[in-house]
């Protein structure tokens, strides 16, 4: 469904993304988990088409969308995105925001359908400032889902929300997304978020994907000491293995 | 060797080799810092199991996954 092969992106001398490779299957929810500054948002922006890679390739549903030699514009990639601050248009109503990227002829039918999916029927004439944070998030999600994308990218959607609300917003998004079978790539630095929402987690460090697996695999079988300590509290003890015993 | 904190069980015992040197109550569980032979270990226990600060404890690794890291 999505395939990243050796994707690299430099900003000046700094390699923000360094030979990152990842596959995401159709309908899968994958979290890109890593510390701040590890390149996960840049990788998301490369997939969305907001940045051009210096090396490697991005393939979405079998179609090469980005490489140093190939380029498909963001609007033609069938990728939806929910931004950190939702990025709703303040001067547009809920219906206007959701239908923004849709062809005029399909808006009238598609917008009510999406508002029903995200549980906002009846609020189509409201403006973003008249909505709660949770409702704004659902508008942003509906807008991302509007053109029936192959893939939805979530860029730290709950990072500015208090922990209590974060939990309920996360559950809301999962309830909306799961039945649709949409492929989702979530960027987060929050281990709990990745563990509770994702089918699989890609752990990033210094621009590269250093380990992939389920939450259990990452937690109980980390590849390195860094991975072990990033995904949870750890006692790391030194020892020697002799004849299969420590 | 990686031992997750929830795999370290604490048994209060005057003859125990470990000493509880810090205790953080977190609601449904408690994080204990236990000094054992000069090494500080972290143990995570349910808050229904109370071990007092300063107690001597015996430490046991619960059966579970203890991976070896290179």
Per-residue model confidence as pLDDT tens digits over A78-137: 899 998 888 999 999 999 999 998 988 999 899 999 999 998 999 999 999 999 888 998
Measured CB to CB, residues of chain A less than 8 Å from chain B are 219-222, 224-225, 228, 232-239, 241, 246
Please calculate the CA angle B32-B36-B40 and round it to the nearest 5 degrees: 55
Please check the confidence at residue A242 and state whether its pLDDT lies above 80. Answer: no
Interface of B with A in 22-41 (CB under 8 A): 31, 39, 41
Measured CA to CA, the distance from residue A196 to residue A170 in angstroms comes to 9
Q: What is the pLDDT of residue B3?
A: 93
Our CA-based measurement puts residue A158 at a distance from the nearest CA of chain B, in whole angstroms, of 23
What is the CATH number that goes with domain A2-78+150-230?
Answer: 3.40.50.300
C-alpha closest to that of A141 among A168, A125, A120: A120
Q: Would you call B15 an interface residue with chain A, using a CB distance cutoff of 8 Å? A: no
Judge whether B66 lies within some domain. no
| Tokens at A32, concatenated | 């890109």
In chain B, how many domains are there?
1
Contact between A235 and B8 using a beta-carbon 8 Å cutoff: yes
Task: Quote the DSSP letter at residue A229.
Answer: H
pLDDT digits (tens, 9 = 90+) for A154-211: 999 888 778 888 888 888 888 888 888 899 999 999 999 999 999 999 999 999 999 9
For A12, residues 6+ apart whose C-beta sits below 8 A from its C-beta are none
What is the model's pLDDT at position A111? 94
Q: Say which DSSP state A88 is in.
A: -
Are A160 and A85 in contact, with CB atoms under 8 Å apart? yes
- pTM equals 0.89
The band of A21, judged by pLDDT with boundaries at 50, 70 and 90, is very high
Q: What residues have CB less than 8 Å from A110, skipping those under 6 apart?
A: A99, A102, A146
Q: Are A31 and A197 in contact (CB under 8 A)?
A: yes
For residue A41, the SS3 value is helix
pLDDT confidence tier of residue A244, bands split at 50, 70 and 90? low
B70, part of any domain: no
Cβ distance A237 to B8 less than 8 Å, yes or no, reads no
Task: Find chain A residues with C-beta within 8 A of B1's C-beta.
Answer: 236-239, 246
Beta bridge partners of B31: B24, B44
* ipTM for this prediction: 0.90
CATH number, domain containing residue B37: 2.40.50.140
How, if at all, do strands A151-155 and A79-82 pair? parallel
B29: containing domain: 5-61
Tell me whether residue B34 is in a domain. Answer: yes
Residue A155 corresponds to which tokens in the numbers above? Answer: 């860029």
Strand A2-11 and strand A55-60: pairing? Answer: antiparallel
């Amino acid at each position: 469904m999505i395939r990243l092969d050796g994707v690299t992106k430099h900003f000046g001398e700094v390699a923000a993304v360094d030979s990152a490779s990842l596959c995401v299957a159709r309908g899968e929810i994958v979290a890109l988990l890593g510390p701040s500054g590890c390149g996960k948002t840049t990788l998301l922006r490369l997939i969305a088409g907001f940045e051009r890679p210096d090396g490697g390739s991005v393939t979405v549903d079998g179609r090469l969308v980005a490489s140093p030699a190939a380029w498909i514009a963001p609007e033609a990639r069938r990728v939806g995105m929910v931004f950190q601050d939702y990025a709703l248009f303040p001067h547009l109503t809920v219906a206007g925001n959701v239908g923004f990227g849709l062809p005029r002829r399909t808006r009238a039918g598609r917008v009510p359908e999406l508002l029903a999916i995200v549980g906002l029927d009846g609020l189509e004439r409201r403006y973003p400032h008249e909505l709660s944070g949770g409702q704004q998030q659902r508008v942003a999600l509906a807008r991302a889902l509007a053109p029936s994308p192959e893939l939805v990218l979530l860029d730290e959607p709950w990072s500015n929300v208090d922990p209590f609300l974060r939990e309920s917003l996360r559950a809301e998004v999962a309830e909306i997304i799961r039945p649709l079978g949409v492929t989702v790539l979530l960027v987060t630095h929050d281990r709990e978020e990745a563990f509770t929402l994702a089918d699989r987690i890609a752990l990033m460090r210094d621009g590269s994907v250093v380990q992939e697996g389920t939450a259990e695999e990452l937690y109980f079988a980390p590849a390195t000491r860094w991975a072990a300590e990033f995904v949870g509290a750890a006692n790391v003890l030194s020892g020697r293995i002799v004849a299969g015993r420590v | 060797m990686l031992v997750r904190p929830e795999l370290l069980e604490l048994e209060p015992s005057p003859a125990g080799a470990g000493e509880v040197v810090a205790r953080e109550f977190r609601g449904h569980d408690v994080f204990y810092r236990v000094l054992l032979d000069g090494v500080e270990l972290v143990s995570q226990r349910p808050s229904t199991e109370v071990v007092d600060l300063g107690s001597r404890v015996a430490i046991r690794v619960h059966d579970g996954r203890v991976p070896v890291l290179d």
